[in-house]
Structure 1
Amino acid sequence: MTLPLRSASRGPSYLSEDEVAVYDCVLRYQQITRERLSTVPDLDLSEEQLDSAVGGLLELGLLRAHTKDPALLVPVDPDLAAAALAAPIRASLQEQRRHLNQISVEFGRLRAHFLDGRRRPSDSIEIIPHLDEVRAALNRASDECRGEVLSSQPGGGRAPEVLQEAMSRDTALLARGVRMRTLYHHTARFNAPSQAYVAVLSGLGAEYRTVHDPFGRLIVFDRDLAFIPEEDDGLGAVVVREPSIVGYLRSVFENAWAHARPFSDAAADGLEAVAKELDGTILRLLAAGYKDEAIGRRLGMSLRTTRKHVADIMDSLGAVSRFQAGVLAARAGLLDQEDEEPGADERGAGR
């Protein structure tokens, strides 16, 4: 007997309603021919439907031909048929699991190499751990710079020996027509060496502005090289050459520059006005919960100077605690007073 077999590709359901009906019918008779099935009264199927159902059951192993009379159809235990049908699928799954494990093991061997490679400096990121090497790298970058240097130098006044070293380097840059812009803490206006340095370099074309709270130390040469501090306030530096990161650091600088004020010494601005402005910033940081050490770092002042300012502010408010100082300042509306931003004429005139 030759019957059409359905394709092994089936949908979500392996058995159709017609196949279930035919299987039940064969079970009742235990052995029956295809021709006899077409005459069973309660099996209401067309010849085409019957052929399709019988072929499908044979394909699935739920029916088989009788060993002595191949014209007879015999039902097969569904568990046995399912086991036979699932065997190649199970073998395929085991083989795929073996492949998955092999991929994991083989590629896992490269993981240590990958992590080690990420720890090593790449062409776009370089770590310079020693101060003398950092100075040499800065001098080399200065010699190669042709367009512009952007610099953020937090920390208040800079040491005279540092300024002296920077003087010759910056003078050479300006002589080549390189534009120089530098951000300082406002407190640098109280520092005599910084005032003298800025006065000399401003006369050669450099531009300087100050802010109360700079974003951190940064030097950018042209548009392709940036120096930032090494982690944990070490004396080393990280050199960045990746264009997207350098571009982002430039945008951070430009934003701070736009809100900064032209550098001038405290006496020129009026000591009383400068002190009032500084105390206002300290008061806002106190109200925000900053400790003396953190305030000093943010404003470029020594811890001793910071503590003196804090004590004077609390005394003027009549406060006996930081919390009370914040409450009294808020009641007086002092925390709502932002530092006056530079006008349009100031923004375009860096000294």
Structure 2
Amino acid sequence: MFAVNEGRLSEPPARLGETELGLYRWVARNGKMDAGLAAIELGLTPGALEAALASLTDLGLLRANADDPARLRPVDPDLVAAVVTTSMESAIRTHQAELHRTREQFADLRDHYRENLRRLPAGFEVIPGPQEVRAALTLAAQECKHEMLTSQPGGNRNPEVLQEALPRDTAMLARDVRIRTLYHHTARFNGPSQAYVATLSAHGAQYRTRHELFGRLIAFDRRLAFIPERGDTWGALMIREPSVVSYLCDVFEQEWTQATPFSDAATDGLELVAKDIDRTILRLLATGMKDATLARRIGMSLRTARKHIADIMETLGAESRFQAGVLAARQGLLDEESLHTASAD
């Protein structure tokens, strides 16, 4: 299990288990190793005893007796620890030196990067990829003192992303930072989102939902904001320009006042929530909106949105989307203004 060769550790030592510890204590108490008697008194099977002996001898805690090589005697654990920890400390020092050199190298590049930023409009910075975005968000969260505002479109949030955000958000709440988040209504059907909201709400975070959201936004202290980079790059645009950040926060506030407190769909009644979603889909269809755009607006996958559309048309007995709008209006499911907008298109 362990190997100590010429004072160097071939691999980091695992923690000794209760069997190994118990066997070492037995040998130290008796002054020598007697496999048969030890197995009986410790209640160990031959296999378990053999494995424990191998661990202790490989590590150097038990050593063959010079007068009787068939017997083992205990070795001072302080001496073994000195061998083990010396090699470990040496490895740690090496890694720390490498870490220091790496940080210095990246620090040397900082001035060149700042020179590049001067070519961009003041107050704007492109964060290129998901790992860099996560690092930037973590740093911004650590520096946040008063408030974080978040708009998170999409009904199905990645459990891994939520797990990563949990300690970051919990730490902010512990510092009395106010957290408010907007989700799509469809998030109320998502188990990981429900669990996350329940956990953070207990610590003081606030969550609301809407059928439509303006887009993804994370803002800290109304001084720093992140929005998605254009395209499917998974990057972000970091904004410090005061007027733009203020504008984005104002948009969030308008959405917040019209949103409803987060609750899972079962609590509100699945049928009621489903009808509410169908009314939103009908209204967007009446404007002539394409399926892909509609799906993004309500936080659904394209496949799920098209299934809803097909189910709605079948329920209404409509052969076209415009006819679906007319029939929905007659049944009081769609206001006349939305229908006139569709007709004009």
Contact 2:157–2:192, Cα closer than 8 Å, also in 1: yes
Give a deviation string over 1:122-146, Cα, whole Å, max 9, x none: 5511011111111100000000000
The one-letter code matched in structure 2 to 1:273 is L
CA distance in 2: counterparts of 1:337 and 1:152, whole angstroms:
30
- Give the distance between the partners of 2:139 and 2:336, measured in 1 at CA: 44
Question: What's the counterpart of residue 239 of structure 1?
Answer: 238
Asked if 1 retains the 8 angstrom alpha-carbon contact of 2:329 and 2:336, the reply is no
- Partner Cα distance (2:290, 2:212) in 1: 15
Deviations 1:156-194 (A, max 9, x none): 121000000111110111011100000000000000000
2:319 alignment partner, SS class: coil
CA-to-aligned-CA distance 1:302-322 (integer Å, 9 cap, x gap): 122111111111011110111
> How far apart, in 1, do the equivalents of 2:250 and 2:243 lie?
11
1:154 matched to which residue of 2?
A: 153
3-state SS, counterpart of residue 334 of structure 2? helix
After superposition, where does 1:235-314 map in structure 2 within 5 Å? Answer: 235-314=234-313
C-alpha root-mean-square deviation of aligned residues, in Å?
Answer: 1.9
Checking the alignment, whether the CA contact within 8 Å between 1:158 and 1:193 is kept in structure 2 is: yes
Q: Structure 2 unaligned runs (5+)?
A: 1-114, 338-345
Rounded to whole Å, the distance in 1 between the matches of 2:294 and 2:245 is 28
- Structure 1 residue 294: Cα displacement: 1.5
The structure having more radius of gyration, on CA atoms, is 1
- For 2:272 and 2:118, the matched residues in 1 are separated by 50
Find runs of 4+ consecutive structure 1 residues off by over 6 angstroms: 116-119
Other structure's SS at 1:120 match:
coil
Q: For the Cα contact (< 8 Å) 2:117–2:125, is it kept in 1? A: no
Question: Which letter maps to 1:151?
Answer: T
Determine the structure 2 residue equivalent to 1:216. 215
After superposition, the Cα gap between the structure-2 partners of 1:119 and 1:173, relative to the gap in structure 1 and judged at 3 Å, is same
The 1:216–1:312 alpha-carbon spacing in structure 2 relative to 1, beyond 3 Å, is: same
Figure out how many residues of one structure are paired with residues of the other and give that number. Answer: 223
User: What residue in structure 2 maps to residue 130 of structure 1?
Assistant: 129
CA distance in 1: counterparts of 2:131 and 2:171, whole angstroms: 20
Q: Judging changes above 3 Å, is the alpha-carbon distance between structure 1 residues 119 and 336 closer, same or farther for their aligned structure 2 residues?
A: farther
Match of 2:26 in 1: none
2: distance between equivalents of 1:284 and 1:129? 37
Query: Partner residue of 1:180?
Result: 179
* Cα distance in structure 2, aligned partners of 1:272 and 1:313: 14
Would you say the 8 A contact 1:121–1:127 is kept in 2? no
> For residue 60 of structure 1, what is the aligned residue in structure 2?
none
In 2, the alpha carbon distance for the partners of 1:193 and 1:118 equals: 38
Q: In the alignment, which residue of structure 2 is the partner of 1:94?
A: none
Instruction: Give the superposition deviation at 1:334.
Output: 2.0
Aligned equivalents of 2:303, 2:121: Cα separation in 1: 42
TM-score by structure 2 length? 0.62
What does the per-residue CA deviation read over 1:258-312, in whole Å, with 9 as the maximum and x for residues that have no partner?
0000000000000010001000000011111112222111111112211111111
Judged with a 3 Å threshold, the aligned counterparts in structure 2 of structure 1 residues 119 and 314 are, in CA distance, closer, same or farther, namely: farther
Residue 157 of structure 2 aligns to a residue in which SS? coil
Letter in 2 for 1:320: E
Q: Which amino acid aligns with 2:231?
A: D
Q: What is the alpha-carbon distance in structure 1 between the residues aligned to residue 122 and residue 142 of structure 2?
A: 20
SS where residue 207 of structure 2 aligns?
A: strand
Residues 51-77 of structure 1: CA distance to partner in whole angstroms, max 9, x if unpaired? xxxxxxxxxxxxxxxxxxxxxxxxxxx
Give how far 1:117 is off.
8.6
Tell me: CA distance 1:146–1:303, structure 2 relative to 1, closer, same or farther (3 Å). Answer: same
Give, in whole Å, the separation in 1 of the partners of 2:123 and 2:297: 29
Whether contact under 8 Å (1:189, 1:263) holds in the other structure is yes
Q: Which 10-residue stretch deviates more, 121-130 or 191-200?
A: 121-130
Determine the structure 1 residue equivalent to 2:330. 331
| Rounded Cα–Cα distance in structure 1 between residues aligned with 2:193 and 2:168 | 16
1:317 aligns with 2:316: yes
Counterpart-to-counterpart distance in 2, 1:328 and 1:148:
46
Corresponding letter in the other structure for 1:167: L
Distance in 1 between residues matched to 2:181 and 2:171, nearest whole Å: 16
User: In structure 2, what is the Cα distance between the partners aligned to 1:176 and 1:324?
Assistant: 55
SS in 2 for 1:334: coil
CA distance in 2: counterparts of 1:178 and 1:117, whole angstroms: 33
